[in-house]
Structure 1
Amino acid sequence: MTELGRKTGDLPEGWEFRLPTEAQWEYACRAGTTTATAFGDKLGSNQANVKNKPYNGGAEGPALGKAAKVGSYPANAWGLHDMHGNVVEWCRDWYHAKLPGGKDPDLHDRKPTATANREGTFSRSRRGSAWTDEAWASRSAFRQRFEPERRYDHIGFRLVAVRR
């Protein structure tokens, strides 16, 4: 993607595309809010592609039951779609049970602190929620770990542009 961005003129010299850190992902998801979700303390299936159980009294509606086209649900205050619901998203970081805090810690190269999974490998962090999840898993702070070698139809990614 970085090479394509340069060829099309969409990515300035000295920048690259990559997966976001967990901190970058949550910052983008929250879009300046401090509430449970970017839409407030409630979330319903009219705001995100999740199972039909709303979070904290949000509006209930029919569940789509599959991934939706990007932009099918409202964007957050920064214009980002599907930060809640649709597909969970990979992050750059290895999963650490306790995050170190600070201003955007990048845990990509830091040895994982969580125990190895059943295959004997370590897990990567993923954020957000999917159409397979209930709305409570869509809170901005919700995080999970998963083996990077596994593939499912409810896991995706988004890229960030960063200076090298």
Structure 2
Amino acid sequence: MWAEEIVAGRPAWRHTPSGVVFRAVPGGTFRMGLSDAELDAVRAIERAGEAEDDLEPFFTGAVRYRPVREVKVEPFLIAHPLTVAQARHWLPEYEDSFTESPSATARLEDDLDDLLETWPFQLPSEAQWEYAARAGTTTLTFLGDGRPGEDQVLDDFADEERTAAAENAFGLAAMGSANEICADVWIPHYEDAPADARPRTGDGPRTVRGGAADLSPWQGCDEWFLLLPAIRDEQHDFTAVRPTVPVPPAGQGQAEH
């Protein structure tokens, strides 16, 4: 069911029935949430005149991404968002209303519950998602504190070279591009959040991360915020899904190069 491979020059695990490729994310501890340093970086972007809108609403709403806390994350596997073709492995009749490309990110609406009931994977917790997106960095994005642009958005994985070039240090691309659902229920702050990567469960809508590609081409409304690992929101409509699984026990995969 699992095969260890080298994909784009990096080790990977392939779920052979579906073809979904996972990267191994090492365990570790990180500071989760929007830090004071990141807030200062956004202010620097504003002072430089690189923001399209008045950013005061962003600073007022920053409570949703705070308080910053230290979180311990165990090793796990995580993939790129499911593509339309991969979603059809479990939902053969799936049609995407946002794209006709089978290699593009699937954005599920009414089919979401059916997929989650059928596939053998898990949704990432918020902590797992942000840890994977940061990939050891503490800046606004894994590329630094500069304002991200539309060139950092990746929404189709047909071009393997472009996909590989967009990967962070953990070998993951498109973190923040699509609106991605997490396992956590939406709670508009991190008060009393756990110090490990367990999702916060309960009734109500789930939390989503990212969404910069969902608004592309950008309309000059500071959509770049959606590429920041710390940004989070409440799920409303369509969503992408980025599967995760625990690291398979040794010996379950057969090495293929």
TM-score class, shorter: 0.5 to 0.7
Query: Counterparts in 2 of 1:81-120, with a 5 A limit?
Result: 81-85=173-177, 87-99=178-190, 100-107=193-200, 110-111=201-202
**Is the counterpart of residue 25 in structure 1 residue 129 in structure 2?**
yes
State the match for 2:9 in structure 1: none
What does the per-residue CA deviation read over 1:16-57, in whole Å, with 9 as the maximum and x for residues that have no partner? 6200000000000000000011111121222224xxxxxxxx
Q: Structure 2: 5+ residue runs without aligned partners?
A: 3-14, 23-76, 78-119, 249-257
Among 144, 148, 156, the residue aligned to 1:68? 156
Letter of the aligned partner of 1:104 in structure 2? A
The answer on 1:45 being equivalent to 2:162 is no
1:158 to 242, 247, 250: 242
Aligned residue pairs, count: 126
* Contact 2:176–2:211, Cα closer than 8 Å, also in 1: yes
CA contact (8 A) 1:17 1:161 kept: yes
Amino acid aligned to 2:235: F
What is the aligned-residue RMSD (CA, Å)? 3.3
Q: CA deviation at 1:129?
A: 2.3
Task: Verify the 8 A CA contact 2:176 2:209 in the aligned structure 1.
Answer: no
Unaligned runs of 5+ in 1: 50-66, 113-121
CA contact (8 A) 2:141 2:229 kept: yes
**Separation in structure 1 between the aligned mates of residue 187 and residue 128 of structure 2, nearest angstrom:** 16
Q: Is the aligned partner of 1:125 residue 2:207?
A: yes
The one of 76, 79, 90 aligned to 2:171: 79
Provide the C-alpha distance between the structure 2 equivalents of 1:159 and 1:123, rounded to a whole number of angstroms: 19
Structure 2 equivalent of residue 140 of structure 1: 229
1:17 partner SS = coil
Structure 2 Cα separation of the partners of residues 101 and 81 of structure 1: 27
| 3-state secondary structure, aligned to 1:105 | coil
> Counterpart of 1:91 in structure 2: which amino acid?
C
Distance 1:77 1:6, change over 3 A: closer
**Equivalence for 2:12:** none
